[in-house]
Chains A and B, each alone.
Chain A
Amino acid sequence: MRAEILLAIAMAVPLGACRRETRTFRESPPASMATDVAVSDLHPGGGLPPERSISPDEQNAWALNEGKRLFSAYNCSGCHANGGGGMGPALMDEEWSYGHEADQIYRSILEGRPNGMPAWRGKIPDQQIWQLAGYVRSMSGLAPKDVAPSRSDHMSATPPENATPRLTPRNAGLPPASVH
């Protein structure tokens, strides 16, 4: 038994390293469409919840770092500030209106959401939406610490994502109507 645990630990490090460090410059587009996403965590009784697709970027440091770069480049801070929220809801807290899993965040960015989230479908490539979704998760500590981005090279407004404590996600109600 102890031998197996040790072996598992010994294997985890190398495999973790491989997943963390790959750089995938071009993903095949159709596979990343993720059409089976549910916005709500509730599902009808009499069965188990449907299978989810796993984000390809969850364990990949390069993808999350790209997400961080794109968050700033595409001006997500314009509404979400550096995670604290403003016109848009806060992204670094534990409250999630439309789901906290990577594929749910992916759909939120792709489709837009009522009360002000623009739809980015067709405006940025799918791979970048996945990278952004992974980064948004890391803002509330949901990404593994060795994979989450560290500080940016700009003036810092928040602690780095790899120092953010993990916040247990919980469903919030609808975000308030946008404030002007």
Chain B
Amino acid sequence: MGDASSFQSALAAAGPQAAHIERLWWLMFWVASGVFTIVTAFVLGAVFLKRREPIRDDALRVGVTLGIAATVLTLFVLLVASVWTGRAVASLGAESAVTINLTGRQWWWDAEYVDSAPSGRFHTANELHIPVGRPIVLNVTSHDVIHSFWVPNLHGKRDLIPGYTSSIWLQADTPGVYHGQCAEFCGLEHARMLLRVTAESAAEYENWRSNQVRAAAEPPGDAERRGRDVFLHATCTQCHTIRGTIAGATMGPDLTHVASRGTLGAGTLPNTRGHLAGWVLDAQSAKPGSQMPPNSVAGGDLQMLLAYLESLK
């Protein structure tokens, strides 16, 4: 967790695109500050310089003309800077890019890591891992309403529009955990549609990826086995997938490696045992309106279910 000023901040660039944009921001900020100072000085001078004579019209004409010329010049410089930055941002190379198909849903992110071999593809939700220094291409679309993918430390945003698939390229140059959030109003729980991108070294990334590709591990102990039974008998299989079991529904996030994620409910709650229990039993109090319904699970069953879910690393 970085300090508050870099959390999800466009001014704490961790990748080339965000860095270009940050530079453009500071250029425009200083130009704007200068313009503001000069114009305000002229305004206040006209009012408060009491001992002056009214200026003649021909002198005023010169002044206005100079003002327009300066404006046009400044705006032209900013236009050039903007276009130049746009081209720099779009010029990320494409070799050995990691491809992720990202589908926005009310109110979570469905991420499918693409691989040339079908067996290398897997789904995860809400939390992405990417290797540092490699380009990432996200093919984004929406399953329902318009959402927007946005991780400010890495790049600007891209809208997820149903009926369109759009590609956004980004890259992280510094390892770290970067936070993002849906940036297009998408209904009741737009505020709780958070995203987390972990940028790590190539080796760590490969570790993570090969783990995610694997189907769910066999439950290590008796409680976990009983927990898996609870999962399969209860309401869970109507919406969730756990690869390696018969649960294959795609209405909700893929839970095959749910214990490897840091949060639940797209960033709503930390992924701890207590919060997981609360989420299973009554997600509506944490995220009212979300599509996770309340589920009645008896006490003993609940503990075993939690044990099983916690084993799905």
Chain A residues within 8 Å of B, Cβ to Cβ: 23, 25-26, 29, 73-74, 122-125, 127-128, 153
- In contact, B238 and A26 (Cβ under 8 angstroms): no
Given contacts A29-B296, A73-B239, 8 further A-B contacts (CB under 8 A): A23-B289, A26-B284, A29-B294, A123-B235, A123-B237, A123-B238, A125-B294, A128-B293
- In contact, A125 and B234 (Cβ under 8 angstroms): no
Q: How far is the CA of A23 from the CA of B235 in the complex (A)?
A: 23
Judge if B162 is at the interface, Cβ distance under 8 Å: yes
* Min CB gap B245→A, angstroms: 16
If A125-B235, A153-B144, A153-B162 touch, whether A26 touches B282 (CB-CB below 8 Å) is yes
* Min CB gap B66→A, angstroms: 56
Chain A at the B interface: mostly helix, strand, loop or mixed?
A: loop
* Min CB gap B250→A, angstroms: 9
Map CB proximity to A onto B287-313 as digits: 1 under 8 Å, 0 otherwise: 011000111100000000000000000
- What B residues does A153 contact at CB under 8 A? 144, 162
- In contact, B293 and A125 (Cβ under 8 angstroms): yes
- In contact, B235 and A25 (Cβ under 8 angstroms): no
Map CB proximity to A onto B244-255 as digits: 1 under 8 Å, 0 otherwise: 000000010000
Which positions 264-295 of chain B face chain A at CB distance < 8 Å? Answer: 282, 284-285, 288-289, 293-295
- In contact, A125 and B284 (Cβ under 8 angstroms): no
Task: Name the residue of chain A whose CB is nearest to the CB of B236.
Answer: A123
| 16 A-B contacts (beta carbon < 8 Å) | A23-B289, A25-B289, A26-B284, A26-B285, A73-B239, A73-B251, A74-B238, A122-B233, A122-B234, A122-B235, A123-B234, A123-B235, A124-B235, A124-B238, A125-B296, A127-B294
* Min CB gap B191→A, angstroms: 15
Task: Name the residue of chain A whose CB is nearest to the CB of B285.
Answer: A26
**Residue count of chain B within 8 Å CB distance of chain A:** 19
If A122-B235, A125-B295, A153-B144 touch, whether A25 touches B284 (CB-CB below 8 Å) is yes
* Min CB gap A109→B, angstroms: 13
- What A residues does B144 contact at CB under 8 A? 153
Which positions 132-163 of chain B face chain A at CB distance < 8 Å? Answer: 144, 162
- In contact, A26 and B294 (Cβ under 8 angstroms): yes
- 7 closest A-B pairs by beta carbon, nearest first, are A26-B284, A125-B293, A25-B284, A25-B288, A73-B251, A25-B289, A26-B294
Q: How far is the CA of A74 from the CA of B250 in the complex (A)?
A: 10
- What A residues does B251 contact at CB under 8 A? 73
Task: Name the residue of chain A whose CB is nearest to the CB of B250.
Answer: A73
Residue among B144, B237, B238 with most chain A CB within 10 A: B238
Q: How far is the CA of A180 from the CA of B235 in the complex (A)?
A: 28
- What A residues does B293 contact at CB under 8 A? 124-125, 127-128
Task: Name the residue of chain A whose CB is nearest to the CB of B233.
Answer: A122
Q: How far is the CA of A122 from the CA of B231 in the complex (A)?
A: 12
Q: How far is the CA of A108 from the CA of B113 in the complex (A)?
A: 41
- What A residues does B162 contact at CB under 8 A? 153
Q: How far is the CA of A127 from the CA of B293 in the complex (A)?
A: 9
- What B residues does A124 contact at CB under 8 A? 235, 238, 293
- What B residues does A127 contact at CB under 8 A? 293-294
- What B residues does A125 contact at CB under 8 A? 235, 293-296
Q: How far is the CA of A28 from the CA of B238 in the complex (A)?
A: 21
Task: Name the residue of chain B whose CB is nearest to the CB of A27.
Answer: B294
- What B residues does A73 contact at CB under 8 A? 239, 251
- What B residues does A74 contact at CB under 8 A? 238
Task: Name the residue of chain A whose CB is nearest to the CB of B289.
Answer: A25
